Amino acid sequence: MKTMNDARCPARTGLPGLCRGNSVRACLAPLACAPAFAPSAWAQAASPVAGGAAPAKPAAAAGAPPAKAATAAGAASPQAAEDGGFPRSFRGIELGMAKEEVDALLSADSFFSYRGPDDVSLLPSPNQSLIETAGASFVKRAFFQFYEGKLWVMILVMDQRKMDHYSVYSSLRAKYGEPTLLDPREVRWEDEATRVALERPLTLRYLDLATYRSLREGSEAREAVEELERREFLGDL
């Protein structure tokens, strides 16, 4: 009959410097209290392979298809990766379209209660106009803003009696991945060309960023000129 002294101790074989050599019970006691001897190290010491190395995995059979690489967390959004960018259209109306095209699409779509010229207005800003129309179903109001005759902003105000913020957010996140901006007032998906923003209480905005940057730079340039002229005027007093 084997005694405790005869039992094979994993510490004796894997880490002989830590083995007391008395019994398995005596040997395990200091190991259980040693902070440097983590569970992973114990598993390594108890490994049947010399030196504690993990056994080699069997080689793949000849002709077997290579394993697919794992998808990295936080990768580009599914829709953006598939289409090369975020959506720029709603019910066929696309950012960059001419005002006449948008007018024709709205007139033919029963989803909107478009009244033609009665829903068109000029904005105070130069070269800008706006179509504001009532919607049907989930969209309460819709705004289409044009710069130099091209659509650059679409705003859809949804009916909160029929739709909720979480449902819209969940749908957008499933399609386009994690947002580029997330705060209590706005959730935003964006690439170099387009911004899609879900704003509270329940508004969806599509924005052409090229036009936005152009207008912003022009505004900043005008403000700089006005400030310079103001200083020159005050200097002449």
Residue 198: what residue type?
Answer: L
Burial class (CB in 10 A: 0-12, 13-18, 19+), 12: middle
Closest of 196, 132, 197, 200 to residue 160, by C-alpha: 200
Q: Which of 47-51, 131-135, 143-147, 226-230 has the lowest mean pLDDT?
A: 47-51
At residue 118, the pLDDT reads 93
At residue 6, the pLDDT reads 42
Domain-by-domain residue ranges, the chain?
A: 10-50, 91-208
The residues near 236 (Cβ < 8 Å, ≥ 6 apart) are none
Q: Do the beta carbons of residue 22 and residue 29 sit within 8 Å?
A: no
Bond from prior residue into 66 cis (ω within 30 degrees of 0): no
List, for residues 97-127, the tens digit of each pLDDT value. 999 999 999 999 999 999 999 999 998 888 8
Over 80: is that where the pLDDT of 141 sits? Answer: yes
At residue 113, the pLDDT reads 94
List, for residues 166-210, the tens digit of each pLDDT value. 999 999 999 889 999 999 999 999 999 999 999 999 999 999 999
List, for residues 60-101, the tens digit of each pLDDT value. 444 444 433 332 223 344 445 455 577 789 999 999 999 999
The two three-digit tokens of residue 110, written as one number: 């029963």
Q: Do the beta carbons of residue 211 and residue 194 sit within 8 Å?
A: no
Mean pLDDT of 48-55: 42
Cβ atoms within 10 Å of 86's Cβ, excluding its own: 21
Q: Do the beta carbons of residue 170 and residue 216 sit within 8 Å?
A: no
